[in-house]
Structure 1
Amino acid sequence: MTLANVTRIALIGNPNAGKSSLFNTLTGLNQKTGNFPGVTMDKLTGVWELEPGRNVEVLDLPGIYSIYPKSIDEELVINILANPKHPDYPDMAIVVADASNLKRNLLLFSQVRDLGIPTVLALNMIDVAENQGYVINSLKLARELNVEVAEINAKKGIGVGGLKLAAIKTLKHRYASNDALPLPVSEQLIEDVQKQFGEADPYRSLLWLMEHDRMKMFSEEQRESFDHLMEKHHFESKKYKSAETVRRYEQISEVVERCVINLNRQWDAEPVKTWTDRLDKVFIHSFWGYLIFLSILFVMFQAVFTWATYPMDLIDGGVAQLNDWLKEILPESALTGLLTDGLIAGVGGVLIFVPQIAFLFLFISLLEETGYMSRVMFIMDKMMRRFGLNGKSVVPLISGIACAVPAIMSTRSIGSWKDRLITILVTPLMSCSARLPIYTVLIALVVPEKNTLFGVFNLQGVALFGLYLLGFFMALFSAWVLKKILRAKERSYFIMELPTYKGPRFKHVAISIYNSVRAFVFEAGKIIVAISIVLWVFASYGPGDSMAKIEEQVRVNNPSLTGVDLTNKIASEKLENSYAGHFGKLIEPAIKPLGYDWKIGIALITSFAAREVFVGTMSTIYSLGGEVDDENATIKNRMRAEINPDTGKPMYDAALGFSLLIFYAFAMQCMSTLATTYRETKSWKYPLIQFGYMTTLAYVAAFLVYQILS
Structure 2
Amino acid sequence: MKNKLRVALVGNPNTGKSTIFNALTGLNQKIGNFPGVTVDKKTGISKLPDGQFIEIVDLPGTYSLYPKSADETIVFEVLSNQNNPSYPDLVLIVADATNLKRNLLLYTQIADLGLPVIIALNMMDLAAKGNMEIDIDALAKRLNIPVIPLAARKIQGIEELKKAIQYHTKIPLQLPTIDVEVIAPELIKDISSYLAIENPYVALQIAHQHDHLKYLSKAQNEHIKALEIKYDFHSQKAQASETIARYNYINDILLDTVKYTSVALEENISNKIDHYLTHKFWGLIIFVGVLFAIFQSIFAWSEYPMLLIETVFVWLAEMGHQYLPEGALTNLLIDGVLAGLSGVMVFIPQIALLFAFISMLEDTGYMSRVTFMMDRLMRKVGLSGKSVVPLIGGLACAVPAIMSARTIESWKDRIITIMVTPLVSCSARLPIYTLLISLVVPKKMLLGFINLQGLAMMSLYLLSIITAVLVAWVMKLIIKSDLKSYFIMELPVYRMPRWNNVGITMYESVKTFVTEAGKVIVAVSIILWVLASYGPSNKFELIEKKYQTQEIIKGYSPEEINRLRASEKLENSYAGVLGKSIEPGIKPLGFDWKIGIALITSFAAREVFVGTMATLYSVDGDDTKMESVREKMAKATNPNTGEIVFTTATAFSLMIFYAFAMQCMSTMAVVYRETKNIKWPLIQFFYMLALAYAASFVVYQILK
Shorter-chain TM-score above 0.5: yes
Q: Which residue matches 2:593?
A: 598
Q: 2:121 aligns to what SS in structure 1?
A: strand
Q: Which residue matches 1:220?
A: 218
* Residue 336 to residue 656, structure 1, CA distance change in 2 (3 Å): same
Q: Which residue matches 1:478?
A: 471
2: CA distance, partners of 1:478 / 1:189? 47
Give the CA deviation at 1:11. Answer: 2.6
Q: 1:274 aligns to what SS in structure 2?
A: helix
Q: Which residue matches 1:321?
A: 315
2: CA distance, partners of 1:578 / 1:495? 58
TM-score (norm 2): 0.92
Aligned with residue 176 of structure 1, among 173, 176, 186: 173
Q: Report matched runs for 1:654-669 at 5 Å.
A: 654-669=648-663
Deviations 1:509-559 (A, max 9, x none): 222223322332233332222222222232233333433443223333733
1: CA distance, partners of 2:47 / 2:338? 39
* Residue 94 to residue 520, structure 1, CA distance change in 2 (3 Å): farther
Q: RMSD of aligned C-alpha atoms? A: 2.7
Q: Which residue matches 2:537?
A: 544
- Asked if the contact 2:111–2:177 (Cα under 8 Å) also holds between the matched residues in 1, the reply is no
Give the CA deviation at 1:577. Answer: 2.0
2: CA distance, partners of 1:298 / 1:476? 20
* Residue 391 to residue 199, structure 1, CA distance change in 2 (3 Å): closer
1: CA distance, partners of 2:686 / 2:325? 47
Aligned with residue 432 of structure 1, among 385, 409, 426: 426
2: CA distance, partners of 1:168 / 1:254? 30
Q: Report matched runs for 1:527-538 at 5 Å.
A: 527-538=520-531
Deviations 1:546-581 (A, max 9, x none): 334432233337333453333333332232222222
Q: 2:428 aligns to what SS in structure 1?
A: coil
Q: Which moved more, 1:184-193 or 1:274-283?
A: 184-193
Give the aligned length. 701
* Residue 56 to residue 442, structure 1, CA distance change in 2 (3 Å): farther
Give the CA deviation at 1:587. Answer: 0.6
Q: Which residue matches 1:154?
A: 152
Q: Which residue matches 1:499?
A: 492
* Residue 305 to residue 187, structure 1, CA distance change in 2 (3 Å): same
1: CA distance, partners of 2:453 / 2:172? 61
Deviations 1:395-440 (A, max 9, x none): 1111110111111122222222222222221111111111101111
Give the CA deviation at 1:296. Answer: 0.9
Q: Which residue matches 1:137?
A: 135
Q: Which residue matches 2:399?
A: 405
Q: 1:213 aligns to what SS in structure 2?
A: coil
**Letter in structure 1 aligned against 2:181:** P
Q: Which residue matches 2:303?
A: 309
**Letter in structure 1 aligned against 2:174:** S
**Letter in structure 2 aligned against 1:480:** W
* Residue 280 to residue 187, structure 1, CA distance change in 2 (3 Å): closer
Deviations 1:78-110 (A, max 9, x none): 333333333444443322111111111011122
Aligned with residue 526 of structure 1, among 514, 519, 526: 519
Are 2:442 and 1:448 aligned? yes
- Asked if the contact 1:564–1:628 (Cα under 8 Å) also holds between the matched residues in 2, the reply is no
* Residue 600 to residue 155, structure 1, CA distance change in 2 (3 Å): same
Q: Which residue matches 1:124?
A: 122
Give the CA deviation at 1:681. Answer: 2.1
Aligned with residue 63 of structure 1, among 61, 64, 70: 61
2: CA distance, partners of 1:448 / 1:602? 27
* Residue 701 to residue 188, structure 1, CA distance change in 2 (3 Å): closer
- Asked if the contact 2:266–2:493 (Cα under 8 Å) also holds between the matched residues in 1, the reply is no
1: CA distance, partners of 2:83 / 2:145? 24
Are 2:615 and 1:620 aligned? yes
Q: Which residue matches 1:74?
A: 72
Aligned with residue 342 of structure 1, among 322, 333, 336: 336
**Letter in structure 2 aligned against 1:178:** L
TM-score (norm 1): 0.92
Q: 1:466 aligns to what SS in structure 2?
A: helix
Q: Which residue matches 1:650?
A: 644
- Asked if the contact 1:156–1:505 (Cα under 8 Å) also holds between the matched residues in 2, the reply is no
- Asked if the contact 2:180–2:200 (Cα under 8 Å) also holds between the matched residues in 1, the reply is no
Aligned with residue 609 of structure 1, among 595, 604, 623: 604
**Letter in structure 2 aligned against 1:569:** L
Q: 1:177 aligns to what SS in structure 2?
A: coil
Give the CA deviation at 1:364. Answer: 0.8
Are 2:355 and 1:361 aligned? yes
2: CA distance, partners of 1:35 / 1:319? 41
- Asked if the contact 2:108–2:177 (Cα under 8 Å) also holds between the matched residues in 1, the reply is no
Unaligned 5+ segments in structure 2 are none
Q: 1:214 aligns to what SS in structure 2?
A: coil
Q: Which residue matches 1:516?
A: 509
Give the CA deviation at 1:231. Answer: 5.1
Q: Which residue matches 2:91?
A: 93
Q: 1:455 aligns to what SS in structure 2?
A: coil
2: CA distance, partners of 1:679 / 1:219? 25
**Letter in structure 2 aligned against 1:258:** D
Q: Report matched runs for 1:630-641 at 5 Å.
A: 633-641=627-635
Q: 1:680 aligns to what SS in structure 2?
A: helix
- Asked if the contact 1:25–1:155 (Cα under 8 Å) also holds between the matched residues in 2, the reply is no
2: CA distance, partners of 1:465 / 1:270? 37
Aligned with residue 257 of structure 1, among 251, 255, 278: 255
* Residue 600 to residue 5, structure 1, CA distance change in 2 (3 Å): farther
1: CA distance, partners of 2:234 / 2:128? 42
**Letter in structure 1 aligned against 2:322:** E
Deviations 1:36-59 (A, max 9, x none): 444444444445443375554444
2: CA distance, partners of 1:254 / 1:52? 37
**Letter in structure 2 aligned against 1:649:** E
Q: 2:435 aligns to what SS in structure 1?
A: helix
Q: 1:69 aligns to what SS in structure 2?
A: coil
Q: Which moved more, 1:37-46 or 1:525-534?
A: 37-46
1: CA distance, partners of 2:95 / 2:673? 33
2: CA distance, partners of 1:33 / 1:512? 17
Q: Which residue matches 2:326?
A: 332
Q: 1:308 aligns to what SS in structure 2?
A: helix
2: CA distance, partners of 1:239 / 1:211? 14
Q: Which residue matches 1:577?
A: 572
Among all aligned residue pairs of Structure 1 and Structure 2, give the percentage whose two residues are the same amino acid: 52
Q: Which residue matches 2:345?
A: 351
Q: Which moved more, 1:78-87 or 1:602-611?
A: 78-87
**Letter in structure 2 aligned against 1:472:** I
Give the CA deviation at 1:462. Answer: 0.8
- Asked if the contact 2:134–2:259 (Cα under 8 Å) also holds between the matched residues in 1, the reply is yes
- Asked if the contact 1:118–1:177 (Cα under 8 Å) also holds between the matched residues in 2, the reply is yes
2: CA distance, partners of 1:418 / 1:94? 35
Deviations 1:585-629 (A, max 9, x none): 111110011111111101101111221111111122122123345
Q: 1:467 aligns to what SS in structure 2?
A: helix
- Asked if the contact 1:14–1:63 (Cα under 8 Å) also holds between the matched residues in 2, the reply is yes
Give the CA deviation at 1:507. Answer: 1.8
Q: Which moved more, 1:426-435 or 1:646-655?
A: 646-655
